[in-house]
């Protein structure tokens, strides 16, 4: 997957002017000429077919790397010199990966295995015959759908932040330049003053996509107005929500858009130093960002005197250890400085006193990804998309109990029903939809009655949820909402930095109350105490992690009170079961069970009688199997 950073090739000759950038873009148009639906095979072109293979982490984990190598070997074996294999970014339809898009034929192959490489080359590339068993089948009509634009998953999407994902090789800056990369930077440096750049961002209505939704142009204005010995631009790539992978995909698939946007931000606020804070668990994203930064430096798009404009700006990468709290900007800044990742009360805001105590703007990856296209197409174009108070599009990671798991970008104002049932294809296995969790551990559940709610900052807040960074987890009729709340509290307890008492101790007490209910030891008073404690934490915690930690509990209590009451009245029938594949037959559980519900012989898997089990948890506590005593699982 990786390639060596190149340093002495002709195509990396330094660009000293805007005209140089334009000439380089024109000279490399052919690199992406075949990747448009209106393109046709040209008998005079050496490369007439391109096999675009999804190079995202998801597809790589299911064999895309081996698939690409097999495709290349098959082309060589059959002496095919009119086709080539191109690793592109995430195509979004993760449930159908690995994906191969054959261009210019525009044939979309799904769930392609390494052993399918030979057939793709011999049947499609050589004979120009479509391989039907690799074509996506619409689950509703049963029809083959060879073109991705005709699939329900893509039909209502509008790619803005993800505009280049799946179109270009993310490790080749020339392909980014060929599709317009760095043109927005040139426009800012030569056509706009710094204030005019900020004015464009304000007029566009772009709001932060990391969760808070603060107006981006206003944040940049604050930093521009504040004087400092130096200023900094920070990209927040610390994506920690369970089930979220929006920012990771942009960093992996279009890293040059982030580099370009940060440079524009530096020009706008008067900063010359940028920092990308990205979690070390994203090795592909880190590698591709490093590649983009290196290649941009070689071309003179980063560093001293960018494009001969006299403006200097450079970027470095800071690796995070994966702490969820470091998604909060002040905690992120402390971590990047080498300190413990803990938030501080605001004001002062980072725009006044941030990294190293100097004026700093912090925007997340998706926010930055929107900046170049806003500059290129204009504020009016961007503000024409979305709703009155929520402009543009939003990227969501659609996961859970939904047929079409993947990365989705839709205009603000699209309803949840459209996303879950039209783009997501509904709930699998004939199960009924129950709820969708938006905003991750900081958000809340949205139920059937609110499925027609438009997705924007105001509407989601009005029904007790939030947009967050874009995680969207669908739940079906089998999901126990008390257990769902317990899952999220478990996460926030583990991720609390421990600085403030409401978060450090309060969330632990909430988790204990949920455990009490789930273990049928609670009562109606437990529910009263639970709600009071959640409200107290929300009103008194130091940062957004603590303030929003009770949201999953309060939200599920609001929409599913009957499930909490059933536990409080102890009307739920619960029992433990033993996983026979993990049981070592130690008999500790037999000795611990107070009602003789467990039977079995030494060194053989044991069995729990569900009719006798009182779900006291004694067996779970003594089980020696790790992790988390996995041999005994509550049902």
Task: Determine contact, residues 369/380, Cβ cutoff 8 Å.
Answer: no
pLDDT for 629 beyond 60? no
* Mean pLDDT on 312-325: 91
Reported confidence tier of residue 511, pLDDT bands at 50, 70, 90: very high
Q: Which residue has the higher pLDDT, 610 or 635?
A: 610
Cis peptide before 479 (omega within 30 of 0): no
pLDDT for 292 beyond 90? yes
Vertex 298, ends 294 and 302: CA angle to 5°? 75
Cα-Cα-Cα-Cα dihedral sign, residues 396, 399, 403, 406: positive
User: Biggest alpha carbon distance in the chain?
Assistant: 83
pLDDT score, position 617 = 79
pLDDT score, position 241 = 79
Mean pLDDT of the chain: 90
Q: pLDDT tens digit string along 134-156?
A: 999 988 888 999 999 999 999 99
- Domains recognised in the chain with CATH numbers: 32-155 (3.40.30.10), 173-383 (3.40.50.11540), 393-479 (3.10.20.600), 482-568 (1.20.1440.230), 574-635 (3.30.70.20)
Please give the share of the chain, as a percent, with pLDDT higher than 90.
Answer: 70
Q: pLDDT tens digit string along 416-444?
A: 999 999 999 999 989 999 999 988 888 88
Q: Which residue has the higher pLDDT, 575 or 476?
A: 476
Query: CA 363 to CA 65: how far, in whole Å?
Result: 32
Give the number of C-alpha atoms closer than 13 A to the C-alpha of residue 556, restricted to the C-beta side: 31
* Mean pLDDT on 16-31: 93
pLDDT score, position 228 = 85
pLDDT score, position 627 = 55
pLDDT for 53 beyond 50? yes
Q: pLDDT tens digit string along 341-375?
A: 889 988 899 999 999 999 999 999 999 999 999 99
* Mean pLDDT on 164-193: 96
pLDDT for 50 beyond 60? yes
Cα-Cα-Cα-Cα dihedral sign, residues 343, 344, 347, 351: negative
pLDDT score, position 252 = 95
* Secondary structure class of 510 (helix, strand, coil): helix
**Angle between the N-to-C axes of helices 255-269 and 183-191, in degrees from 0 to 180, rounded to the nearest 10:** 10
Q: Which residue has the higher pLDDT, 564 or 240?
A: 564
Q: pLDDT tens digit string along 458-483?
A: 888 788 777 777 889 999 998 999 99
pLDDT score, position 630 = 54
Which segment of 94-103, 296-305, 389-398, 606-615 scores lowest on mean pLDDT?
606-615
* Mean pLDDT on 254-276: 97
Task: Determine contact, residues 449/380, Cβ cutoff 8 Å.
Answer: no
pLDDT for 484 beyond 60? yes
Query: CA 446 to CA 531: how far, in whole Å?
Result: 19
Q: Which residue has the higher pLDDT, 93 or 519?
A: 93
CA distances from 612 to 573, 577, 609 (A): 11, 12, 6
Of 551, 525, 526, 527, residue with least CA distance to 538:
551
pLDDT score, position 245 = 86
Reported confidence tier of residue 7, pLDDT bands at 50, 70, 90: very low
CA distances from 430 to 125, 193, 403, 426 (A): 39, 57, 11, 9
pLDDT score, position 43 = 62
pLDDT score, position 11 = 58
pLDDT for 263 beyond 70? yes
pLDDT for 415 beyond 90? yes
Query: CA 591 to CA 368: how far, in whole Å?
Result: 59
* Mean pLDDT on 297-320: 96
């Amino acid at each position: 997957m990786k390639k060596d950073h190149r340093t002495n090739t002709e195509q990396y000759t330094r660009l000293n002017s805007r005209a140089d950038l334009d000439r380089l873009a024109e000279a490399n148009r052919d690199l992406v000429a075949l990747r448009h639906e209106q393109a046709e095979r040209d008998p005079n072109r050496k490369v007439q077919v391109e096999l675009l293979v999804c190079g995202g982490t998801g597809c790589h984990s299911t064999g895309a790397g081996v698939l690409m190598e097999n495709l290349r070997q098959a082309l060589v074996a059959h002496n095919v010199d009119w086709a080539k294999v191109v690793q592109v970014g995430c195509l979004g339809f993760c449930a159908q990966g690995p994906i191969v898009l054959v261009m210019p034929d525009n044939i979309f192959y799904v769930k392609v295995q390494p052993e399918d490489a030979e057939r793709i080359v011999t049947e499609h590339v050589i004979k120009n015959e479509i391989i039907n068993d690799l074509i996506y089948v619409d689950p509703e009509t049963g029809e083959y759908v060879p073109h991705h634009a005709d699939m329900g998953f893509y039909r209502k999407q509008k790619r803005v932040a993800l505009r280049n994902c799946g179109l270009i090789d993310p490790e080749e800056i020339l392909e980014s330049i060929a599709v317009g990369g760095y043109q927005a930077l040139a426009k800012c440096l030569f056509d706009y003053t710094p204030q005019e750049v900020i004015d464009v961002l304000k007029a566009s209505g772009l709001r932060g996509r990391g969760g808070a939704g603060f107006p981006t142009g206003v944040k940049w204005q604050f930093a521009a107005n504040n004087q400092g010995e130096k200023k900094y631009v920070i990209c927040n790539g610390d994506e920690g929500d369970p089930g979220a992978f929006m920012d990771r995909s942009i960093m992996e698939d279009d890293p040059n858009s982030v580099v370009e946007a940060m440079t524009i931000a530096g020009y706008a606020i008067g900063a010359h130093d940028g920092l990308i804070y990205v979690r070390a668990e994203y090795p592909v994203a880190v590698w591709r960002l490093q590649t983009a930064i290196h290649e941009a430096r070689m071309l003179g798009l980063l560093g001293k005197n960018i494009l001969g404009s006299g403006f200097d700006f450079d970027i470095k990468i800071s690796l995070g250890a994966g702490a969820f709290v470091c998604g909060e900007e002040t905690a992120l800044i402390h971590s990047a400085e080498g300190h413990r990742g803990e938030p501080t009360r605001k004001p002062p805001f980072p725009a006044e006193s941030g990294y190293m105590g100097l004026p700093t703007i912090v925007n997340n990856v998706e926010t930055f990804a929107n900046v170049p296209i806003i500059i290129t197409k204009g504020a009016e174009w961007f503000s024409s998309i979305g709703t009155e108070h929520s402009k543009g599009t939003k990227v969501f990671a659609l996961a859970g109990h939904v047929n079409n798991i993947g990365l989705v970008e839709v205009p603000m104002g699209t309803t949840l029903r459209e996303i879950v049932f039209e783009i997501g294809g509904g709930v699998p296995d004939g199960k009924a939809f129950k709820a969708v969790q938006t905003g991750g551990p900081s958000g809340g559940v949205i139920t059937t009655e609110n499925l027609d709610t438009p997705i924007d900052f105001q509407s989601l807040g009005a029904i007790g949820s939030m947009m967050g960074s874009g995680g969207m987890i669908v739940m079906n009729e089998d999901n126990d909402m008390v257990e769902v709340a317990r899952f999220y509290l478990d996460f926030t307890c583990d991720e609390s930095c421990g600085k403030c008492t409401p978060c450090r101790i309060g969330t632990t007490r909430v988790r204990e109350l949920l455990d009490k209910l789930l273990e049928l030891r609670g009562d109606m008073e437990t529910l009263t105490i639970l709600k009071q404690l959640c409200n107290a934490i929300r009103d008194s915690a130091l940062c957004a992690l603590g303030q929003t930690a009770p949201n999953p509990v309060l939200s599920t209590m609001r929409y599913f009170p009957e499930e909490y009451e059933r536990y409080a009245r102890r009307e739920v029938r619960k029992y433990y079961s033993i996983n026979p594949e993990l049981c070592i037959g130690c008999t500790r559980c037999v000795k611990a069970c107070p009602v003789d519900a467990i039977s079995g012989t030494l060194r053989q898997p044991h069995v729990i009688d569900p009719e006798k089990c009182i779900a006291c948890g004694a067996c779970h506590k003594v089980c020696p199997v790790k992790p988390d005593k996995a041999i005994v699982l509550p049902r």
